Amino acid sequence: MISLFTYLSCGAVFAQDAVPEIDPFAGINEETDWNVFDQESGATDDLSNFGHDYTKALKLCYKFFYAQMSGKLPEDHPLEWRGDSALNDGKDNGVDLSGGYYDGGGFIKYNFPMAFATTMMAWSTIHYWRTLKDVGETKAALETLRWGADYLMKCHPENGVFYVQVSDKTADENFWGRIEDGEKLNYQRKSYKIDANHKGTEPLAEAAAALAATSIVFSEIDSYYADDCRRHAEELWEMAWKPDQRRTYHTTFPEAAKAYKSWTGFYDELAWGAAWLHKATGKQKYLIQAMGVYRNQHLEKDISLFSWDNKIPGVHYLMAEITKKANFKNTLRLFCRDKNHGGKAKRTPLGMVFLGDWGPLRYAASSAGLCFLAAQMKLDPDSNFVLGQSQLGYILGDNGRSYVVGYGTDFPTRYYHKESFCPEQPEPCGSFTGIPNRHQLDGALVGGPDEFDRYDDDPWKQQQSSVAMDYNAMLLFALLGKIDHETYGSKPPPRLAPGKGLKIGDMGQSGARSQGDPEGYDPDRPDSGNRIDYYHALQKSLLFYHAQRAGEIPEEFPIVWRKNATMQDIDGDETDLTGGYFNGGGTMKYSFPMAYSITILAWSVIEYPSSYGEHLEEVKDIIKHGADWLHNSARSTKIVASIGNQTYEDEFWGRAEDMKADRPIYSVTDSQGGTDLAAQIVCALASTSIVFSDNQEYSQKLISKAETVMQFAESNEGFFAENVPEAGLYQTMNFKDELAWANLWMYRALKEEDSATTYLETARNIADSEETLQSNPKIFDVDTKVAAVQLMLAIEEDEETTVHLDEIKSFCDFYSEDVTKTVYGLAYPSPFQATGYASSASFLCFLAAQKLSGKIEPGIRSSWKTFGFKQMDYLLGSSGRSYLVGYGDSYPTQAFHRGASCPNRPLQCTAEGYKDRDAPNMQILNGALVSGPDADEHFIDKRLGTKYTAVNLDRNAVFTAALSAAEFAKNQKDDNIDSSSIRAAINTASILLLPILLYI
């Protein structure tokens, strides 16, 4: 091990695969020391006491970003005069490069400054999240940030390739018109890429910084998206860091040099990118690389300005924040002192810090933004706050003219921006004339006046009248710094240690909710808890399984838009596989989740048959249809894992009945491993045999097949997805939980026979020998059956033993006491399909409260039931929105489902007509439980937003089971627990609480 001092003294820049193991953070306490700011409190007066409406300016600033969007625009895009454009970008290289942002007044997409703007948007969001919440702009912040990040990831379609630009000056200057008409007017848009033969360091390092910073923002909001951002960031960084890849990018791409020549070289981007990667990942190697570049390249010298080209002052702030070292803070202090009165920086007569002829206001804004941060770090706080305010005041009109379009008095009306100059269709669009732009480009910061404060409102004087993404990114940075200061004084926002994501739950002093409330929520409406009808919802949920039915459809069928489908699903040995159920929104059949779903439905019928009332035979028929297919799919020498081609499925849009293509059947054979799949099928067959115990012949048929499949499971240990990658959508992490669960279900099915105890002992032995089956899994789902195993073993324990009782108690206590919840109470243990996890946990804990009544204290069981009731109420509308299609006043209308999106026959169903349309599905997919909201209570009812609107069998199965348990439990009384009283208390509390939550 070497010391950091020795490393820096050597001045070496290590390659990533040769990073010494040092600890630059030795002695730093993560809990207390990451805040390098002095903790002074004291919010100042309300913003209305100041001369400018900074919040209005901020909202306009975001509006500019929407105006610059390229590609297929969001359905709720705020500007009517903008439309979809440049959808064929990248086609010349066989890739999809639609999306992103146009840089300025033309239609070129320059990824270097776009990535910088994205980094600054992310930084602003991270540092000023509390202020964004206070002013109600989190939606705009997240949408505009993600728009840029999505595009940067598109530009990295494979490792070793990064597209750096689309279109060029020559093509753009020859095109005059609306970009929406570009293809019609033959606007040829060439794309340029970095690869092994075309080098360019700056865009790679900046894109890595942008995606690393974005990953911090989305770490808690959407962890899967954050992971994608980090992965792309690290791969791009590997390209940038390679010594043989390094080259100033404009020497490779002269097309970029005409507008964004890298005057300062690439070392500042390397230090900047490494610092952001360290912040995003917590990996020490990135900090070492940043420190090495800084020392070796003497980055403390050029601190004249902070811009898309020169990141050095920003590097000093990041390194001061990360390391707490005085040298970084002192250099940052010098940067700001140079901009203050008496410093080295040039000023105009009216006070603008003048650091360049072209777009000088961006430098004024960047100086203000960075020095607001320096002030929070207690670096000359008084003078730096004054500096920041003075530069923003100049921009917003302190001297009689505002330089932000749409804000204040005498703002620019004739700026260099082709799109906003164009008139409405069908009038043709030509070059600039003497008239104002036809569309007001709200929020755009223009370049600004010359060194004598002279400004000409003339689009042809582009040094002054141009607009650009980096201009507004800097304006955003400064505005948020000002608003935050006026609200919180010198009290800094919460600091994030490297590797930690943004805590979206952190609230500002005002405590105001800024996102609005779930669509459909009416604070004056009594809580729907009194109206929630579990039985009606249970009946409704059964309709979903009918919609998913494959094979022959009975004559009297509740889903009129469904007909016979996949009748060609016949195996090579003539085994009939036409039936079963489609898994989700298409026509794929996956045996593993289907078997899990049948097991769960059967379990609910075994425990709560009375809950189904007059629909008991209906649910039994649903179970039998699936069990029959599973029976056929499993033979002694092979088990079907999936039917259908997922690649073809992704390309196909239409009715299941219209899919005529041959469907491949993928199976696990007796020479391969497939324990998890086989064991899960055993669970389904054994549990179904109990449901049909009154039909001895059918029940025995299922048990006989279950015994055969159990032999397959035990003699072919391994994971089915490793042998059938085509079914890998449902690969598992462990098969011991499935194996233990299968033995428990065999024990229950054969409980009256002598052989039953062998299965029970086998399950106990597996649980006792597998550490993963002894801990709290915190989720119960299609992959993780641990909690179900623990509950079933706890039920079989004698009174002297509490091992498994303690395990399931830990699971239910976690959900009733400690699980993360959304603001309106949805359990959120994982960033994906929370509605499913809430349902599965509710089912298990309802069941545990009932089955363990003699072993668990009444108060604890009551808390488990209360949790279950609240989750069911939430899913059915107590938050103002139901997540069950067809139930309640405000339910999803665009569930991702091909068949439901299609019109009635004989109309054809195509992707162009029905996949992409922003309108309710043509058929109501009654009974489908969608994925649900994100952790911040956002729900986007868009068909292609599958994070919110996806449907599948396994999620619906646990929801149906939980409803059956809730229906049973609502009137249950035991040991002085009156569940009807619990329900009444929940309803009363909800009525009182929901209006209050509006203001939390």
Across residues 952-959, what is the average pLDDT? 98
**Apex 351 CA angle, 350 and 357, nearest 5:** 95
* Position 541, amino acid: S
Report residue 825's pLDDT band, with 50, 70 and 90 as the boundaries: very high
Q: Is the pLDDT of residue 524 over 50?
A: no
Q: Is the pLDDT of residue 530 over 70?
A: no
Q: What is the pLDDT of residue 166?
A: 98
Among all chains, which residue has been given the structure tokens 């992707």? 911
Distance CA 581, CA 957 (A): 12
Number of other CB atoms surrounding residue 98 within 10 Å: 20
Helix (H, G, I), strand (E, B) or coil at 31: coil
| CB neighbour burial string for 404-430, b if at least 16 within 10 angstroms, e if fewer | bbbbbeebbebbbbbbbbbeeeeeebe
Distance CA 844, CA 848 (A): 6
Report residue 258's pLDDT band, with 50, 70 and 90 as the boundaries: confident
DSSP 745-771: HHHHHTTTSTTHHHHHHHHHHHHHH-G
Report residue 984's pLDDT band, with 50, 70 and 90 as the boundaries: low
Q: Is the pLDDT of residue 37 over 50?
A: no
Q: What is the pLDDT of residue 1?
A: 32
Domains annotated on the chain, with CATH:
4-488 (1.50.10.10), 550-582+586-773 (1.50.10.10)
Alpha helices by DSSP H, listed for 458-530, are 462-465, 469-488
Q: What is the pLDDT of residue 729?
A: 82
Please provide the average confidence, as pLDDT, over all residues in the chain: 88
Report residue 607's pLDDT band, with 50, 70 and 90 as the boundaries: very high
Q: What is the pLDDT of residue 973?
A: 62
Across residues 805-809, what is the average pLDDT? 95
**What tokens were used for 141?**
């912040």
| Cα distances (Å, whole numbers) of residue 368 to 250, 430, 463 | 29, 38, 21
Gyration radius of the chain over CA positions: 31
- pLDDT tens for 410-431 read 999 999 999 999 998 888 888 8
SS3 per residue for 160-185: CCEEEEECCHHHHHCCCCCHHHCCCC
Across residues 920-930, what is the average pLDDT? 95
Q: What is the pLDDT of residue 986?
A: 54
Q: Is the pLDDT of residue 889 over 90?
A: no
Q: What is the pLDDT of residue 23?
A: 41
Sheet hosting strand 638-643, strand order edge to edge? 589-590, 638-643, 665-669
pTM of the model: 0.54
Whether the Cβ atoms of residue 858 and residue 800 lie closer than 8 Å to each other? no
Q: What is the pLDDT of residue 509?
A: 28
Whether the Cβ atoms of residue 303 and residue 294 lie closer than 8 Å to each other? no
Q: What is the pLDDT of residue 172?
A: 93
Helix (H, G, I), strand (E, B) or coil at 786: helix
Report residue 8's pLDDT band, with 50, 70 and 90 as the boundaries: very low
Residue 225 region, left (φ>0) first, then alpha (ψ -120 to 50), else beta? alpha
Ranges 85-89, 554-558, 722-726, 978-982: which has the least confidence: 978-982
Across residues 519-546, what is the average pLDDT? 66
Across residues 177-187, what is the average pLDDT? 91
Q: What is the pLDDT of residue 980?
A: 53
Ranges 44-53, 513-522, 823-832, 894-903: which has the least confidence: 513-522
- pLDDT tens for 195-213 read 999 999 999 999 999 999 9
- Percent of the chain, pLDDT > 90? 73
Report residue 982's pLDDT band, with 50, 70 and 90 as the boundaries: low
Whether the Cβ atoms of residue 129 and residue 122 lie closer than 8 Å to each other? no
Across residues 875-890, what is the average pLDDT? 92
Q: What is the pLDDT of residue 22?
A: 36
Query: 273, 265, 260, 349: which is closest to 301 by C-alpha?
Result: 265
Across residues 830-847, what is the average pLDDT? 93
Q: What is the pLDDT of residue 801?
A: 87
Q: Is the pLDDT of residue 931 over 60?
A: yes
Distance CA 227, CA 225 (A): 5
Q: Is the pLDDT of residue 998 over 80?
A: no
Helix (H, G, I), strand (E, B) or coil at 195: strand
Q: What is the pLDDT of residue 519?
A: 30
Across residues 598-605, what is the average pLDDT? 98
Across residues 633-647, what is the average pLDDT? 91
Among all chains, which residue has been given the structure tokens 């290289």? 93
Distance CA 482, CA 485 (A): 5
Q: What is the pLDDT of residue 18?
A: 36
Q: What is the pLDDT of residue 9?
A: 33
Report residue 523's pLDDT band, with 50, 70 and 90 as the boundaries: very low
Q: Is the pLDDT of residue 989 over 50?
A: no
